[in-house]
Structure 1
Amino acid sequence: MADMVDELWAWLHPALHAMKEHRRTEPGATWLETRARLLADLGLADADWHPVTRRLFERLDGLPDDDRERLIGGDDLDQVASEVVREVAAAGEPAATGAAGGYDEAAWHAFAIASLPYWNGTNEGWAPFAQWFAHHGAAQGLGAPATGFIEHAEPMSVDQRVALFAQYGVAVPVGAGASGAADGDQAAAGAGHVLDEDTQAVLDEVMAANPSFAQIPEARRMQLVAHVLHHHENA
């Protein structure tokens, strides 16, 4: 049991430290954003994937906001988390299918980084993106984390999803349905879908190399191509 406690604590403690630092440097962050960041640092898309996070969040989620802030900002969080780790080790609870160790984490993060930019940052674009993301993930043997990620992000607002994507290093352009306007180049590319010869050549090349790109909504494909060309011109 002692070995299991040490192993679980070595996995959990650095993420807890990062969460406390996040709350210190970004006091305006919501609990939902902080929660998602902790899960991402642990390589999980859903708290239910591991008994430690499931039990820990059962305690934290049920606290009043002020009490939770005091706990995270003080010295008692480590004690609470340590109690959870010991409970899990004593019970010998297994991680759920799809949790860390149930899939290739490096492959999942590579997939997420490559695929998350295909969301256009709007509520209207979320449903087709979510369906595509889950399907595309399953096709690559990453159905569990991809579906778990979508289920976790589904109840979020646009701004919360943008913050979640940012944890993977993905900057989502703020769409018309969010708190700001889309980037000028992207907005122009998404309107009318009329491409010049060079842009069309780039799109044809991308489509030939990545057939799955055709599953992305057309407006978002135009935005991505425009984004690539914009950076190429300024390189």
Structure 2
Amino acid sequence: MATADELWTWIYPPLTELVAARADDRTRSWTELRGYFLERTGLADASDHPLVADLVETLDQLSEEDSAALLDDGARLEAQVYELAVAHADPEPEAAEPAGAGEPAAADDPAYDEAEWQRFLVDNGPRWNGEDATWGQFSEWFGYHAREAGVGQPATDLLAYLDTLSAADRITTLAQYGVVIPTADAEPVRLTEEDIEGLLAEDSEFADISEDRRRELIQQVVGDH
């Protein structure tokens, strides 16, 4: 067959086209998009490939409401399809047991906490500045700290996939996971005097400050922004 990464690289383009087609017209149901997706895979029928057969069967069995929700959630759909790619991939060859081995070795990829991984990704993903030139350095840093945090397995899988993309596509993909990468052309946050007045009024710490001092603080904060 193929490795999980090879299967994922093959299925990802038609998958993104499926999600985009649904996003362009929310009235198009999975039933209507089924043929469109198969056409993008280059298959005459879903049964021609076990991965596609599993995916199509999964969507076929969902209600129209549930299939629409899945198609509208690109990150969840991609995660589900990647799991199918792993399930249908050729098994990794087993490493030979070293001579004289005693106690069984610990698993290379121990189970990880999905919530912890999501927190780690959202907290540390934005540390990349979005430039291709810095990707390699960031990737090494991210992978190291992910292993330290006990989420090395999903980090390695994600980085391996992102390595195959352009910088712009990495930013788009990370955004689907809730990671916002700041870019050079991003619009700066603009706070008006009214915005700051409202913020100060809501914070109990500023309740006893005199009006004159409050206005000094407002002017200072507006100036900083």
Same fold, judged at TM 0.5 (above): no
Please tell me whether Structure 1 or Structure 2 has the larger radius of gyration of its CA atoms: 2
Q: TM-score, normalised by structure 1?
A: 0.39
Q: TM-score, normalised by structure 2?
A: 0.41
